[in-house]
Amino acid sequence: MFKSYGFDFEDEQFTCQTNGVISDSIVQNWTISALECYKLNCNCEICPITKAKYSFKCQMKHIVDILLKTRGLPDEKAIMNVNSSNETTSDDIVA
């Protein structure tokens, strides 16, 4: 149970209110988060997001699958270069 602002919350996972539809904007390009998930072979058991016990169900493995089908294999150097040149990235948002 979590305590926040004087309220008790049950330890549960929330799913997005999108009926399982993944936004087109998040599957346009490879991000650092997607690359990390890909490098872990989408193994949620060893993922730091899972270990952090966020209150949502991560959808990154589905995003990686879509990216592989639409964008091909990730180019780590390009991903890191693009993200290092941006002050704010889409990786601040976890799927």
A 10 A CB-CB count for 47 gives: 16
Burial letters for 21-37: b for 16+ Cβ neighbours within 10 Å, e otherwise? eeeeebbeebbbbbbbb
Q: What letters, b where the CB count within 10 A reaches 16 and e where it falls short, cover 71-89?
A: eeebeeeebeeebeeeeee
pLDDT of 15 reads 53
- Please, which pLDDT band fits residue 76 given cuts at 50, 70 and 90? very high
Q: Does 8 have pLDDT greater than 70? A: no
Reported pTM: 0.63
- pLDDT band at residue 11 using 50, 70 and 90 as cut-offs: very low
